[in-house]
Structure 1
Amino acid sequence: MMHSRQPMFLAWGEELTFLYNQPYATILGPRHPAAFARPFEQVWSDIWPDIKPLVDRALAGESTWRENMHLVMTRHGYPEDTWYTFSYSPLHDDDGRIVGMFCSAIETTGQVLAEQALRENEGRFRALLDATPAMMWVTDRNGDCTHLNQSWYAFTGQTPATGLGHGWLDAVHPADRPAAERKFEDATRTKSPLRLDYRLRHADGTWRYAIDAAQPRLAEDGTYLGHVGSVLDITDRRQAEERQTLLAREVDHRAKNVLAVVQAMIRMTQADDVDSYALALQGRVAALARAHTLLAADRWAAADLGALLAGELTAFLGEERAVRVVLTGPTVALPPGTAQPLTMIVHELATNAFKHGALSAQTGRLEVCWSVQDGRLRLDWTERGGPALAGAPQRLGFGTRVLDGTVRRQLGGRLQLDWRAEGLACRLEVPLTPKAAGAAEQPGLMWGTG
């Protein structure tokens, strides 16, 4: 015993004389060396009530063992929490009589306090994780998930029984699971940071896009303990990015379409001189811009017919429009494929009325009324009070050809022009659905499809 590096002592005889080796002196602290050869009860009087039952059992012939037993000692003049792992065994003389007891012991105070601190820190850490809105997880050095916070369970509908270990992988989309599992195992093997995307099953059964990021968890001495990671639901962000991509494509499409329409305007506009040509072209481009403004206000879903007519006629008459023009009809939402060509139709009618028809005279008036039946828009344009008309023109002008081509070929509708003496009466009917207006879906037509 005296030569062992393990702390040991024996208590011998009726007074249990205390004999110990040098490693045990460290446990005694200031009680060494006075404790040597004194009665056991006197040496450890402060803990005697705690250990006497074990001493009695040893003297009765029974060996006992205790792991991390808590004892409050006053080795240094103040109560001190200590922990020990030790065994008590009976000692026999040559005749087999019990004449004392033997102890092999080790103080585990540092280890117990460290484990307590670790558990407390782990408890605080897990409480912090559970209070975090993001989904959080912790693994051990083998890659087994030892903690999933409440946000994970609330999101996935899993429980600790189904999620811990490698059960969390059951919530990953089957198509994404192999890659996720492989990257997870690689990060554990190499003790490196982790980042991966996958689809995660929501508690309602839907699949959500998630991003998972983690860092190695290290002890103070650098020992790898596992990983700690967070999972974020990025479905909304991903959908926003997809919408942004679609929007960029839509902007590109509309920009090309506008350029195509402007090119058509340049090609088709006719005039006797440069100034007239510029004026006509500016008017058509401005009409196109007004149509785009209306569509943009409703995110290119539709344009209000009444607003379209009012805006186009106000461009010609200003404040007089309220006096000289009557607009009558229900609220009609024009799809983009109809709104843009119809704007150009109204612009050509207004241009003709302002130059040659009712709006060229102060006494002239215009009435525009419309209705919708069976998915078709019927619009009546009636001029009165302008210069008297001698009937239909002998030669179809540019504006008339534009009207006919746009209504019939582009919108798949019908056009009727009545050159009455009191003024032009125009009736047009066009379908309001892209499927009905089959020609409106074809590229390269007169005013584009929006």
Structure 2
Amino acid sequence: MEIPPGINDRDVRALWDCAPVGLCVLDATLHCVIANSWSGWSDDAAHTGRTLFELAPQIAERLSPAVRRVLTTGKPIDGLELYWMRGDIAKISLCNLSPLRDAAGMVIGVNCALVDISTRANIEAAERRLSLEIDHRGQNLLSNVQSLVRMSISDTSHDVDTTLGVIEQRVMAMGRVHNVLSREKWISADIHEIVAAEFAPFVGQTAADGPVLRLTATAARSLALILHELVSNAVTHGALTVQSGLVDVTWTRNDSGLNLCWTERGGPILRGPPPQMGFGGMLIDSSVAMQLSGSIVRHWDQAGLRCVVMMGEAVLAGDRTAPASGVLLGRRVLIVDDEPISSAVLTVALTAEGCEVLDAGHDLDEAIAVIDKTGPFDAAVLGSTLHGHSTQPLLDLLRRRTLAIVHLGPLAHHLPDLADGAAVEPILDSSLSHANLCAAVMAALAQVLSATR
């Protein structure tokens, strides 16, 4: 192609340099003829004439066979994915190759164009994770509904219409807590909101009181069903059968977890426990034991039913009113993790302990930029990979800034090697439940921060 009149070589070179893609020309022996600045290889004496393997050893093994194929066949190749590092930054590029011909039409070299798709690849990876998460939640929801329907039908004490009504109300109870969790991005739910949703039809006959506490998504769903069953029982047999009846729910935090007390009064006089426990009672007992890591005690007082539901520590997603104390108080903690849910849960939990939490983002580029720009911090929580790339490039940078690093990973051998003589850096299994992972991270941070005081 001839250059139009009025456009000189300097104009072409300026256009070449400002193109938002990496451009280079390789000759038939895979030596660099010219390259623009976006490619990362300038065309000065340090690069011109060097081989592809000298210029880009990370991608040469994958790129060179494609270049030779273009030289041999004269046919272009589009969409070749290349993974490489520019300094400490992981990159993903799409490479297009086209033949460079002389005046006689002979192939004498190859034009290479590299488009950085790192950001797009990160977004696509996040979308894939989100799709898997939605599928997982959908399967769980269907399993829960199927169990409710199957066990409700097995309760032969009801006719068909009554059974359908019971199923509908139980599914609606699940729907109410799902609305809360959806608004909270499926991280956690405020116990006040869960109780208020179940008590909404009975304003004036119900009361709720307790500290501001957030429950994990699993615990929130289970507690919503438990409260629904207790409300249904009160409407059918207990305090809510009469206008003068009252129901109080209170909860308190203790060393072992959470206690919730359900108290009815003003209803019919109770003569003792029912002769046979129905499905609702069995659902409550199994939910408390299996989903809330706890137990339930029922007191069949004449004045009304009183229940105490004791739940384990794992149900708590973070107590925002707990007094901040101990070694974590006032510490600045950097979180580098590409799993948004665990990152958000850790942020809530560490903030509740009095930490200032710094988010380093979810890819290597963003993390390095944040680490470079942020002020001093006391500790770091580091995932083993970011969008499929090792976090090894971050380690030296982090170790120059802090002695307290906690690693997260599926298996220890997938994590970066610890430097010789480095401070102890705990390695935690990232497949733990979010509640258990929070507890483990906070315990590990407290340990390493105490050791580095």
TM range (shorter): 0.5 to 0.7
The 1:274/1:185 distance shift into structure 2, 3 A limit, reads same
Tell me by how many angstroms 1:287 deviates. Answer: 1.2
Count of equivalent residues: 315
Matched, 1:144 2:31: yes
Q: Where does the alignment leave 5 or more consecutive residues of structure 2 unmatched?
A: 318-431, 434-453
In 2, the alpha carbon distance for the partners of 1:129 and 1:334 equals: 57
The 1:192/1:295 distance shift into structure 2, 3 A limit, reads same
1:246 is matched by which residue type in structure 2?
Answer: R
In 1, the alpha carbon distance for the partners of 2:46 and 2:315 equals: 52
Conserved 8 A contact 1:191-1:224: yes
Tell me by how many angstroms 1:353 deviates. Answer: 1.5
2:304 is matched by which residue type in structure 1?
Answer: G
Question: Residue in 1 aligned with 2:123?
Answer: 240
Task: Find the partner of 1:194 among 66, 77, 99.
Answer: 77
With structure 2 as the length reference, what TM-score do the two structures score? 0.61
Question: Residue in 2 aligned with 1:392?
Answer: 273
Q: Secondary structure at the match of 2:17?
A: helix
Conserved 8 A contact 1:172-1:198: no
Q: Secondary structure at the match of 1:433?
A: helix
Conserved 8 A contact 2:30-2:52: no
Q: Which 4+ stretches in 1 moved above 6 angstroms?
A: 114-120
Over residues 183-230 of structure 1, what are the superposed CA-to-partner deviations in whole Å (9 max), with x where a residue is unaligned?
123223433313321112123x13222211133345676464633332
Matched, 1:257 2:174: no
Matched, 1:428 2:315: no
1:197 is matched by which residue type in structure 2?
Answer: E
Q: Secondary structure at the match of 1:244?
A: helix
1:261 is matched by which residue type in structure 2?
Answer: N
2:198 is matched by which residue type in structure 1?
Answer: E
In 2, the alpha carbon distance for the partners of 1:202 and 1:115 equals: 35
Tell me by how many angstroms 1:273 deviates. Answer: 1.2
1:418 is matched by which residue type in structure 2?
Answer: H
Residues 329-344 of structure 1: pairs in structure 2 closer than 5 A:
329-344=210-225
The 1:115/1:326 distance shift into structure 2, 3 A limit, reads closer
Matched, 1:310 2:196: yes
Tell me by how many angstroms 1:340 deviates. Answer: 1.9
Matched, 1:184 2:67: yes
Conserved 8 A contact 1:173-1:200: no
Question: Identity of counterpart residues, as a percentage?
Answer: 30
Over residues 418-445 of structure 1, what are the superposed CA-to-partner deviations in whole Å (9 max), with x where a residue is unaligned?
1222222211122252799xxx98xxxx
Question: Residue in 2 aligned with 1:403?
Answer: 284
In 1, the alpha carbon distance for the partners of 2:60 and 2:161 equals: 69
Q: Secondary structure at the match of 1:367?
A: strand
Conserved 8 A contact 1:172-1:199: no
Residues 351-430 of structure 1: pairs in structure 2 closer than 5 A:
351-374=232-255, 376-430=257-311
In 2, the alpha carbon distance for the partners of 1:416 and 1:303 equals: 25
Larger Rg, first or second structure (1 or 2): 1
Higher RCO structure (Cα 8 Å, ≥6 apart): 2
In 2, the alpha carbon distance for the partners of 1:115 and 1:268 equals: 79
Question: Residue in 1 aligned with 2:93?
Answer: 210
Task: Find the partner of 1:292 among 165, 178, 189.
Answer: 178
Task: Find the partner of 2:22 among 135, 139, 143.
Answer: 135
Q: Secondary structure at the match of 2:314?
A: coil
Conserved 8 A contact 2:257-2:312: yes
- What is the CA RMSD across the aligned residues, in angstroms? 3.4
In 1, the alpha carbon distance for the partners of 2:185 and 2:45 equals: 49
Conserved 8 A contact 2:36-2:43: no
With structure 1 as the length reference, what TM-score do the two structures score? 0.61
Q: Where does the alignment leave 5 or more consecutive residues of structure 1 unmatched?
A: 1-113, 442-450
In 2, the alpha carbon distance for the partners of 1:120 and 1:225 equals: 25
